[in-house]
Structure 1
């Protein structure tokens, strides 16, 4: 008897689901579709409403904050790149302003989303480089965690850093220096990065147990903008170079 009741219940549910699917399918077939193309006439009232905001936004995005002598390029297949070095140097510059004890900076290749073309650098260019709402983070790490960072760089073929020198030979660490000195596993180091990576983004695990962590309200792209503006105030242009901070010897 119980089995019969169960089968009846299952049969009822099946009929109900089938009915719902049939009704849903029938409703979709009755839908009306509109093609969005150039034949649609723009609503002038809407255009007039947003036009002032659009003009203001474009003016800000086109504002020049600096100048690049040459094309500053990314290269995800190389241990270091012009863009990666510029990015990491700007991050270290800001980290030291926030905390003079900061010794190094760390970013990832995938986090840098655009090059800098030769010529004027605009606010819009900086947004293209870093479109995300990431903020600056300063971590106090143990020497052993810095070595884990180096291992990650070995496995991923190098990442953007500043204040660090890493030489990789035959898939192993040959030399790893912070501010020109070998890592002391028992020492503490201050490193500046951004919250996405500090939270474990890009499969990063070596930031999982910092001695201390400080997140700032400073957006990463604001940091890059300030760095370029500071160079401009000094009468300097953005001029990145490959300096061997990350090397792979096969």
Structure 2
């Protein structure tokens, strides 16, 4: 695949801005894409600089060969080796890996509560339906962000999350820290953004254009889910470019009456960043204009998303309906 643009601070943008000859290669990792699976692709040479990345979760070992000549040095080979195809080194695993697993086992086995049985917690829902409409799991996480940031002293009005903070489903039954670590394996933090009512209207229209449509293949477009205080309908329309958000209320107040008000939004530090590749393609192909949340005034709370969710889960006895794991009609998708 080609290099993914990360909104605001990606490897592509870095390569484009570096003077020629400054570096020989850029080794990425932030977007978790596997690049150059079949050798160095011309698509991954930006401004003369090769960009390499070895996917996610240890699925590949990446190698970059740099050949040094008399006058200069250059990347001469880039390739990925799937770790599943590597021979197992039992002695190494016993000496170095197993002690680490044994050390963290008590933490990963710690009981957090119980997860209810709900279709929105299934692997099929997480993989296939995240951006198709309302999700009980996303409602739970977004509501948790509001409660936990308010407990930390931040006057948050509502929260927003996207697919970047959910990596797995939640199995029904007893829930351990390890189960939730599978859902949130990354060290994302909670970020606060300030947004006016007028900007929020633009963001929600933008979000409507990111929703999955029944007649199109699903890919990561950065669709956002919100906490219970924000309610609206998505009118899909005939094409993606005319999709819009309608009947928007924040804490039961119509957004049309609050264009000048400023809201504080809790979101994740990685929000919208997985959508950079699709967003660029859509802009080039359909000339769509997108709302860029990276332009909003923001601050990082230094609260780790996973830590706050674990605390919330403990408080509410698990992933429960009482804790917010339910659908309440906060977003409704109509044709």
TM-score normalised by the chain length of structure 1:
0.74
CA 1:166/1:43 → structure 2, altered by over 3 Å: closer, same or farther?
same
| Structure-1 residue corresponding to 2:208 | 154
CA 1:201/1:149 → structure 2, altered by over 3 Å: closer, same or farther?
farther
Among candidates 189, 193, 209, match of residue 267 of structure 2: 193
CA 1:110/1:136 → structure 2, altered by over 3 Å: closer, same or farther?
closer
3-state SS of the aligned residue for 2:293?
coil
Supply the distance in 1 between the matched residues of 2:199 and 2:185 (Cα, whole angstroms): 29
2:231 corresponds to 1:165 = yes
3-state SS of the aligned residue for 2:271?
helix
3-state SS of the aligned residue for 1:80?
coil
| Structure-1 residue corresponding to 2:305 | 220
| Structure-1 residue corresponding to 2:294 | 208
Superposed displacement of residue 173, structure 1 = 2.3
Instruction: Extract unaligned runs of 5+ from structure 2.
Output: 1-68, 70-75, 77-84, 212-222, 238-242, 277-289
Give the 4+ runs in structure 1 shifted more than 4 A.
none
CA 1:53/1:172 → structure 2, altered by over 3 Å: closer, same or farther?
closer
CA 1:89/1:172 → structure 2, altered by over 3 Å: closer, same or farther?
same
Instruction: Extract unaligned runs of 5+ from structure 1.
Output: 1-16, 18-23, 25-34
Superposed displacement of residue 49, structure 1 = 5.2
3-state SS of the aligned residue for 1:167?
strand
Asked if 2 retains the 8 angstrom alpha-carbon contact of 1:148 and 1:206, the reply is: no
3-state SS of the aligned residue for 1:43?
helix
Supply the distance in 2 between the matched residues of 1:154 and 1:66 (Cα, whole angstroms): 35
Asked if 1 retains the 8 angstrom alpha-carbon contact of 2:189 and 2:305, the reply is: yes
Asked if 1 retains the 8 angstrom alpha-carbon contact of 2:204 and 2:244, the reply is: no
Superposed displacement of residue 114, structure 1 = 1.4
Superposed displacement of residue 164, structure 1 = 0.9
3-state SS of the aligned residue for 2:140?
helix
Superposed displacement of residue 51, structure 1 = 3.7
Supply the distance in 1 between the matched residues of 2:191 and 2:106 (Cα, whole angstroms): 30
Supply the distance in 1 between the matched residues of 2:164 and 2:192 (Cα, whole angstroms): 20
Asked if 1 retains the 8 angstrom alpha-carbon contact of 2:164 and 2:274, the reply is: no
Superposed displacement of residue 108, structure 1 = 1.0
Supply the distance in 2 between the matched residues of 1:51 and 1:69 (Cα, whole angstroms): 32
Supply the distance in 2 between the matched residues of 1:187 and 1:222 (Cα, whole angstroms): 31
CA 1:176/1:194 → structure 2, altered by over 3 Å: closer, same or farther?
same
Matches within 5 A, 1:13-32: none
Asked if 2 retains the 8 angstrom alpha-carbon contact of 1:95 and 1:102, the reply is: yes
Matches within 5 A, 1:45-124: 47-48=94-95, 50-71=97-118, 72-73=121-122, 74=126, 75-124=129-178
| Structure-2 residue corresponding to 1:238 | 320
Supply the distance in 1 between the matched residues of 2:86 and 2:130 (Cα, whole angstroms): 38
How many residue pairs align between the two structures?
211
* Larger RCO, structures 1/2 (Cα 8 Å, 6+ apart): 1
Supply the distance in 2 between the matched residues of 1:36 and 1:146 (Cα, whole angstroms): 49
Supply the distance in 2 between the matched residues of 1:241 and 1:124 (Cα, whole angstroms): 23
Matches within 5 A, 1:3-14: none
TM-score normalised by the chain length of structure 2:
0.56
